[in-house]
Amino acid sequence: MAIVDIPKPEKKIPIGISACLMGHKVRYNGGHKRSSLCMNTLADYFDLTPVCPEVGIGLGTPREPIRLVGSEHDYAVVGTDTKELDVTEQLRDYGINTAREMTSISGYILMQKSPSCGMARVKIYHPNGNPSGFSGSGLFAKGLMETNPLLPVEEEGRLHDPVLKENFFTRIYAFHRWQTTVQDAVSYEAIGAFHAAYKYTLMAHNPQNYTELGRLVAKGRKVALAELQDAYITIFMKTLARRATRKSHTNVMLHLLGYIKQTVASEDRQQILKLIEEYRQGIVPLVVPLTLLRHFLDIHGSDYVKNQAYLKPYPEQLGLRNLI
């Protein structure tokens, strides 16, 4: 049995995206913020559903700019010139409703620095127009994330960081697999199979949480199915949100090497170990030792290890492990 791509969706994975990133002219000035990353790369793998909350709540294009005004923990979204223009509740409600309606999406890409779509670090101003020194989340993004806290969400600007980008798409593909193999036909067996496939992915992100999830799954029918489902995916997604490190990736690859230590020639094992150490030191990217390790696991590994999502968490063509 060869190592397989995990998961293998029959169609593109659906994700939400700020409409301006797709080139839609919906910004306050009538322009857009077309993202070459989203349109030239991601569009081949994802079904991108564009949303502009400001247009969605009835603001025109072009329109008066809006901004966050208030204090660090209590701010509103108002017009930069017309203070009576307050769209705080409309944007928050639109985010809540979007999360409730778009239940099939597996991720969301937001426009950074936006008072509606910014995930974080959006400037907050004093009522007199001066910067307060504080920042917060856009109100649409806030409603979206609070209503669906499991959903992988990231800002387009942060996706130019290779580590953040790899982490985000690891979460998207894992969440999509959960939606299609567990959520749509939940059972104790489905949860157990999902957990088994993500053993080494979890270890790379947080070994302690892997152990905790293992204990949870081991309880089996002692826990009500709905309770087990909710508890498992909540801890699982929080675990994957924690970025894996060179140290943790190195540890996982050494564990995987253990599956073939008795069947691979000594010189081949030494070559794998050499590349793993070069990765640990930052000399080569993760794809280098992992490619050779996968080669030998494909030949000599058991079906269990070949089915580990860690080996192919997403299509290789995305090149996400080439720069980390």
Quick one: pLDDT at residue 5? Answer: 56
Element of type H or E holding 255: helix 246-257
**Antiparallel, parallel or unpaired: β 153-155 and 74-79:** unpaired
Element of type H or E holding 79: strand 74-79
Nearest partner of 42 among 315, 240, 286, judged by Cα = 315
Helices 266-280 and 246-257 pack at an angle, to 10 degrees, of 170
Cβ atoms of 4 and 307 closer than 8 Å: yes
Quick one: pLDDT at residue 8? Answer: 47
Cβ atoms of 45 and 92 closer than 8 Å: no
- CB burial string 40-69: b at 16+ within 10 A, e below: eebeebbebbebbbbbbeebeeebeebbbb
The neighbour count for residue 302, using CB atoms within 10 Å, is: 11
Which residues lie below 8 Å from residue 129, measured CB to CB, with a gap of 6+? 80
Integer Cα distance of 245 and 13 in angstroms: 27
Angle, CA of 215, 221 and 226, to the nearest 5°: 90
Quick one: pLDDT at residue 258? Answer: 96
Quick one: pLDDT at residue 11? Answer: 78
Quick one: pLDDT at residue 83? Answer: 86
Integer Cα distance of 173 and 107 in angstroms: 9
What predicted TM-score, i.e. pTM, was given to this entire model? 0.95
The neighbour count for residue 11, using CB atoms within 10 Å, is: 6
Could you list the pLDDT tens digit for every one of the 324 residues in the chain? Answer: 566 555 444 579 999 999 999 999 999 999 999 999 999 989 999 999 999 999 999 999 999 999 999 999 999 999 999 989 999 999 999 999 999 999 999 999 999 999 999 999 999 999 999 999 999 999 999 999 999 999 999 999 999 999 999 999 999 999 999 999 999 899 999 999 999 999 999 999 999 999 999 999 999 999 999 999 999 999 999 999 999 999 999 999 999 999 999 999 999 999 999 999 999 999 999 999 999 999 999 999 999 999 999 999 999 999 999 999
Question: Per the omega criterion (within 30 degrees of 0), is the bond before 9 cis?
Answer: no
